[in-house]
Amino acid sequence: MGRRKTNLRTHSKSLTLERASSQDVDEVRDQETHETSTQDVQPAIRVTRGPSKYLDVWDLPDDEEIELSLNSLHQPVDDGARTFTGFLGTIARKPHMCPIRYLNWKNMPEEFKEECWRVVERKYSVFVNPIAYEALKAFTLQKIGKAWRDYKSRMKKRHYIPHSRNKTRVKNNPPKGCIPEDWDILVDHWYTDDAVAKTDGQPVERAVLYQVLHTRKDGTAVNPVVKAKMDKMKELLEISSNQLQSSDTSGSIAWSPDDVFAKVMGKERKGRIRGVGFGPSPSARSSKSVLTDIEIHSSQARDNEVAQLKASLATMEEKLAGFDEMKQKLSQFEEMEERMEQRVQQRMEQRMEQRMARMLQQISPQCNQDVSLAEHSPSLPKSSAASYQPSSL
């Protein structure tokens, strides 16, 4: 049975506060405890209510789904877009769905990503059109990945205490609901030498970050190809003229079109800058928004053409199916007509035989009577001419 579509409306602030789960309260208490224990190291953080839980979406009955409006690029728009993005953030914070033990979203196993998408499919009305389906799925997983990275960043800002001597202290104060094993792995990464080097307040170059993210715990590169690139980057970074100046950097990751990373990996293409996440892009716009109006209309025209071709194909298939059915019926009719002709021929032959038999029966007595009369009739007299004999000369 089909699921009923529903539209969620924005609730008042008081109602939202009342529906906040006990986990929000636990997170606030946990935050207050951490601030008290670390007040000698860093200033206190303002206590807030915590992130929204979007219980209206999570508690939606199984026989209902939320109708989602999409634009021409198959991205959520209108009032439902904000709720949709916020709901994806709650998925990213689920420890069993998006574990924090993985260092980046690329390393997140596909089964976790697919489970996130299945949750979205159960709550929202997803288009059957394959183009819209794949575009919305890619957009959804991209947003969940970004929310997951932001969530880990907030965790580090809230719980991380500089200096390795505080490592055990941080491990013993995990966030509420966090899986202990995953928390230990994340904290261990925070206190590695390379990760600590990035927390000194200075931006780190993409080449340095590349080496950090592609090095195993034993200090070796993930594969020979990456090792060759890392060695080339190290060689170039030793030259002072290749290092970025403070005026060339902004944010936490330093980059420029001709930095060491670009010299080894190649120039940037359209889309987002490699190694800097969802921040800048070559055109200062996202990869999906750089499409011009002509490209958008062309894409729409192609989609319409594909849809028309599919509709025409379906119509042709229906006609072919009807033609096959008609051909089968015609064949049956021809067989029936042939059998009828055979029956008619047989009946005609039977009638001819019967008629001939009756005619023979009628003719036979008359013939017998004529023969009998001929046998009993008297001899005819001879003609005078026949009896005349001339006299001899």
Q: What is the 3-state secondary structure (H, E, C) of 174-224?
A: CCCCCCHHHHHHHHHHHCCHHHHHCCCCCCEEHHHHHHHHCECCCCCECCH
Of residues 161, 132, 145, 6, the one with CA closest to residue 73: 132
Contacts of 179 (CB under 8 A, 6+ apart): 95, 96, 99, 100, 101
Of residues 57, 51, 71, 49, the one with CA closest to residue 9: 57
Residue with tokens 């969620």: 8
Longest dimension (CA), the chain: 190
| 67 phi, psi to nearest 5 deg | -80, 130
* Helix, coil or strand: residue 166: helix
Average pLDDT, the chain: 75
Per-residue pLDDT at 200 exceeds 90: no
Question: What pTM was estimated for this model as a whole?
Answer: 0.45
DSSP class of residue 40? T
pLDDT in tens, 137-180: 999 999 999 999 999 989 988 888 877 788 899 999 999 889 99
174 vs 218, residue with greater confidence: 174
**Count of Cβ atoms closer than 10 Å to residue 243 Cβ:** 15
Rounded to whole angstroms, the Cα distance separating 54 from 84 reads 9
Give the angle 255-259-265 at the CA atoms, nearest 5°.
100
Q: What is the pLDDT of residue 117?
A: 94
| 223 phi, psi to nearest 5 deg | -160, 165
The rounded radius of gyration (Å) of the Cα atoms in the chain is 47
* Amino acid at residue number 180: P
pLDDT in tens, 240-263: 777 776 444 445 667 778 888 888
Percent of the chain with pLDDT over 90: 20
Per-residue pLDDT at 286 exceeds 70: no
Could you give the angle at which helices 130-159 and 180-190 cross, rounded to 10 degrees? 70
